[in-house]
Amino acid sequence: MEEGENEAAVLAAAAAGSVVESLMAAVEEIAAISDYRNAYKKQFCNLSRRIKLLAPMFEELKESKDPIPPRAVRALEKLNGALDSAKDLLRLGSEGSKIFLVLERDRIMERFQEITSQLEVALNEISFNEIDISDEVKEQVELVHAQFKRAKERIDTTDPELYADLSSVCHMNADARIDSPILKRLAEKLQMMTISDLKQESLALHEMVDASGDPGEVIEKMSMLLKRIKDFVQTQKPEMGTPMSAMVIPSHGTSKTPVVPDDYRCPISLELMGDPVIVSTGQTYEREFIKKWLEAGHNTCPKTQQRLSSTSLTPNYVLRSLIAQWCEANGMDPPKLPARTGKPLSVCSAGEHAKVVDLLHKLSSQNLEDQRSAAGELRLLAKRNTDNRICIAEAGAIPLLVNLLSMQDVRTQEHAVTALLNLSIYEENKGKIIVSGAVPGIVHVLKRGSMEARENAAATLFSLSVVDRNKVIIGESGAIPPLVLLLSEGSQRGKKDAATALFNLCIYQGNKGKAVRAGVIHTLMGLLTDPEGAMMDEALAIMAILSSHPDGKAAIRAVEALPMLVKVIRSGSPRNKENAAAVLVHLCNGEQQQQHLAELQEQGMMVPLQEMVESGTNRGKRKAAQLLEQMTRFLELQKKAEAQAQAQAQAQAWTQAPVDQSMDTASSAFTVL
């Protein structure tokens, strides 16, 4: 009995320690986020400052010898979830599009209110008398709690003039003229007065396109507005470079700057190209910017969002010559061709390399504290930039990090798997990680690690599975069942990481059956019927890709998904309607085809599908048209069968009539006799 109680106490202490470590890491990451240069700077800075004031409480809890009561642990877990949400919002405020943040002011302010409320509620549930913290820290945390409580009850307002200017400009036609005073106000209030600011905004918009997979009308309008602002700013500051709008904006009312043709500008940087290169989709970019895009882990064309069949870059000599001729004709010096070597664009310095080597010595030691701290530092270094990822991998860190994946120390394991995740962002490191035999270790973490470690393990598998041959290796490693489990029981972030990994892995046909056997369809139905609908998009995308597999189709039939799919087609988003229609197309082929088509007919799906053919996504239109064709054919067959049955019944009736008549005659004769 005592042994069982002792074991339970040890497990509870370990769980509490893990939560505190996770809280400390979250505050550390939030503290590293900065440069909130947008319309919500005050709100972002206040949120970040208040959260950082909680750090002393977590540090004292970590050092305390007293156990944390279960109720306090539950409150700290809730606080940890709120910090994760705050971290995502703060990162959006630091790295996201400034234009998008203003246009989506209602949603952003709503998120501020939600996160503030979550933090206030979590702090309110912590009984400070039950946990071992000093009076000074207690007073500080109570002050932070009071600030969150006041902030929850107060709704901050943003600059109405900025919102009005942006909204009106975004709704203008592409060729409409925008008044200079408006452009000046936008550039100043959005803090886009330098070439660096404008480049950052351009990259943020391209990141949005890559994340959604569809540029969309709103993002296209934001991109057009950014071009207008850049043209205006460059007109006011000629030293920044040549303006790039489709119109010529007068400078001080006298001279005009030559207009750079759109075909001569890089779609990423919006600048005149000096070293244009062609990617596999046929689009042309400035070499420097497309290389940075690829090294950040993207595998799509920024402009078309098509998947790149290769990462090779072909010099566009013809366009370079045309640009040089245009510059000469307009009295401009052509852009200088950047010097290149066979090495990456930049590499870490000798001092930075020495630091990495020192960290690798600590990783190789037998001292747990050294290993943990070194893995944590490498994790942060690999997160910062491409140069660090190259330097760390070339120094030989990957095999050492892989060895730490089997460690029993929770924090060391988290650092190791997250460092590998950050290293995998650089394309060439993906192969090195696979060759080092990392996949079994990552799967081990996915099965038995802390929640944070499991989430990052799932994200690592997704990153590695971008390379097609890795999908086979990961699928055969036993990764799919624990991914399905994480999709079912993980946090919101964990579910999304698991969903993206499963979707990518199931592109390979051989992994679809594994996912179905792991029970993923049942889990997907749970997500689809969740009232909050937070995972609706991901669940439908995975179900659509699995419905093409015989086992997947059978499993979808078994969970009776058709009513839910019908509901999505009636009221879902265009992308979700598309995926729901794709599932129905597969269900209405093969076994039980007649039954499913009859159900769709009973549900009155002809009209919603016709609407989808007219206004859905391109793929959605095709799927809806296929379903309509199947339903029309089914109705025709049904009518034909009914007509045949009716004719047969009439024929039987005619056959029966003479018999009945002769029997009546015989009966009459018998009566006479």
Out of 89-93, 350-354, 415-419, which region has the weakest mean confidence (pLDDT)?
350-354
For residue 276, the SS3 value is strand
Report d(CA 15, CA 569) in Å as an integer. 43
pLDDT value at residue 454: 93
Tell me: do 278 and 221 sit in the same domain.
no
Residue 601 counted as domain residue: yes
Q: Yes or no: say if 169 and 178 are a contact pair by the CB < 8 Å rule.
A: yes
Domain end, chosen from 119, 153, 187, is at 153
Domain that holds residue 322: 262-330
Residue 433: which pLDDT band, with cuts at 50, 70 and 90? very high
Report d(CA 662, CA 639) in Å as an integer. 36
Q: Yes or no: say if 418 and 454 are a contact pair by the CB < 8 Å rule.
A: no
Residue 411: which pLDDT band, with cuts at 50, 70 and 90? very high
Q: Yes or no: say if 452 and 25 are a contact pair by the CB < 8 Å rule.
A: yes
Residue 663 counted as domain residue: no
Tell me: do 578 and 594 sit in the same domain.
yes
pLDDT value at residue 521: 93
Q: Yes or no: say if 498 and 488 are a contact pair by the CB < 8 Å rule.
A: no
Tell me: do 194 and 278 sit in the same domain.
no
- Rounded to a whole number of angstroms, the distance between the first and last alpha carbons of the chain is 103
Residue 272 counted as domain residue: yes
Identify the H or E element spanning 315: strand 314-315
Residue 242 counted as domain residue: no
Tell me: do 168 and 315 sit in the same domain.
no
Out of 270-284, 331-345, 443-457, which region has the weakest mean confidence (pLDDT)?
331-345
Question: Is residue 673 predicted with pLDDT exceeding 80?
Answer: no
Measured CA distances, 641 to 374, 597, 652, 655, 658 (Å): 75, 15, 16, 21, 27
Tell which wins on pLDDT, 216 or 85.
85
Report d(CA 429, CA 435) in Å as an integer. 10
Out of 147-151, 371-375, 385-389, 594-598, which region has the weakest mean confidence (pLDDT)?
594-598
Query: What token pair was written down for 304?
Result: 């078309």
Measured CA distances, 312 to 340, 342, 470 (Å): 16, 14, 20
Phi, psi of 265 (to 5 degrees): -100, 145
Mean pLDDT of 650-665: 62
Contacts of 270 (CB under 8 A, 6+ apart): 198, 202, 226, 227, 230, 244
List, for residues 550-569, the tens digit of each pLDDT value.
898 889 888 888 888 888 88
Mean pLDDT of 617-626: 86
Residue 292 counted as domain residue: yes
- Burial class from Cβ neighbours inside 10 Å (0-12, 13-18, 19+) for residue 19 reads buried
Out of 48-57, 201-210, 622-631, which region has the weakest mean confidence (pLDDT)?
201-210
pLDDT value at residue 3: 45
Residue 360 counted as domain residue: no
Tell me: do 323 and 305 sit in the same domain.
yes
Query: What token pair was written down for 297?
Result: 């882990």
Contacts of 638 (CB under 8 A, 6+ apart): none
List, for residues 576-598, the tens digit of each pLDDT value.
888 888 888 888 876 677 777 77
The sign of the torsion formed by the CA atoms of 32, 37, 39, 43 equals positive
Contacts of 551 (CB under 8 A, 6+ apart): 512, 513, 516, 517
Phi, psi of 508 (to 5 degrees): -80, 125
Question: Is residue 343 predicted with pLDDT exceeding 60?
Answer: no
Tell which wins on pLDDT, 642 or 210.
642
Report the chain's C-alpha Rg in angstroms. 31
User: Read out DSSP for 538-585?
Assistant: HHHHHHHHHTTSHHHHHHHHHTT-HHHHHHHHHHS-HHHHHHHHHHHH
Tell me: do 46 and 141 sit in the same domain.
yes
Question: Is residue 479 predicted with pLDDT exceeding 90?
Answer: yes
Residue 418: which pLDDT band, with cuts at 50, 70 and 90? very high
Query: What token pair was written down for 126?
Result: 């912590």
List, for residues 165-189, the tens digit of each pLDDT value.
777 777 776 666 777 777 778 777 7
Q: How many domains does the chain have?
A: 4
Tell me: do 88 and 9 sit in the same domain.
yes
pLDDT value at residue 468: 84
Query: What percent of the chain stands above pLDDT 90?
Result: 15
pLDDT value at residue 318: 59
Buried residues in 521-538 as b, exposed as e (16+ CB within 10 A): bebbbebbeeeeeebbbb
Question: Is residue 602 predicted with pLDDT exceeding 70?
Answer: yes
Q: Residue 229's CB: how many other CB atoms inside 10 A?
A: 23
Report d(CA 66, CA 122) in Å as an integer. 21
Residue 257: which pLDDT band, with cuts at 50, 70 and 90? low
Domain end, chosen from 153, 186, 208, is at 153
Q: At what angle do helices 410-424 and 427-435 cross, to 10 degrees?
A: 130
Residue 625 counted as domain residue: yes
pLDDT value at residue 481: 95
**Most confident residue range from 3-7, 308-312, 404-408, 571-575:** 404-408
Tell me: do 85 and 146 sit in the same domain.
yes
Report d(CA 185, CA 206) in Å as an integer. 24
Residue 157: which pLDDT band, with cuts at 50, 70 and 90? low
Tell me: do 6 and 145 sit in the same domain.
yes
Sheet holding 314-315, edge to edge: 284-286, 276-278, 314-315
Residue 666 counted as domain residue: no
List, for residues 207-256, the tens digit of each pLDDT value.
666 555 445 566 667 777 777 777 777 666 544 444 333 333 333 343 44
Give the distance from CA 23 to its chain's centroid.
Answer: 23
Instruction: Provide the whole-model pTM.
Output: 0.49
pLDDT value at residue 244: 37
Report d(CA 549, CA 545) in Å as an integer. 8
Measured CA distances, 15 to 68, 237, 451 (Å): 10, 57, 11
The sign of the torsion formed by the CA atoms of 171, 177, 180, 183 equals positive
Report d(CA 328, CA 405) in Å as an integer. 59
Tell me: do 21 and 108 sit in the same domain.
yes
Query: What token pair was written down for 341?
Result: 């070597």
Tell me: do 55 and 139 sit in the same domain.
yes
Per the document, the length of the chain is 673
Domain end, chosen from 273, 298, 330, is at 330
Q: At what angle do helices 550-558 and 536-546 cross, to 10 degrees?
A: 130
Report d(CA 464, CA 299) in Å as an integer. 12
Query: What token pair was written down for 328?
Result: 């000469």
Return the C-alpha torsion angle 20, 22, 28, 30, nearest 10.
-120
Query: What token pair was written down for 23?
Result: 């809280």
pLDDT value at residue 509: 86
pLDDT value at residue 607: 85
For residue 213, the SS3 value is coil
Residue 543: which pLDDT band, with cuts at 50, 70 and 90? very high
Out of 68-72, 239-243, 378-382, 590-594, which region has the weakest mean confidence (pLDDT)?
239-243
List, for residues 18-29, the tens digit of each pLDDT value.
888 888 888 888
CATH number of the domain bearing residue 326: 3.30.40.10
Mean pLDDT of 94-102: 80
pLDDT value at residue 41: 78
Tell me: do 90 and 185 sit in the same domain.
no
For residue 314, the SS3 value is strand
Question: Is residue 654 predicted with pLDDT exceeding 50?
Answer: yes
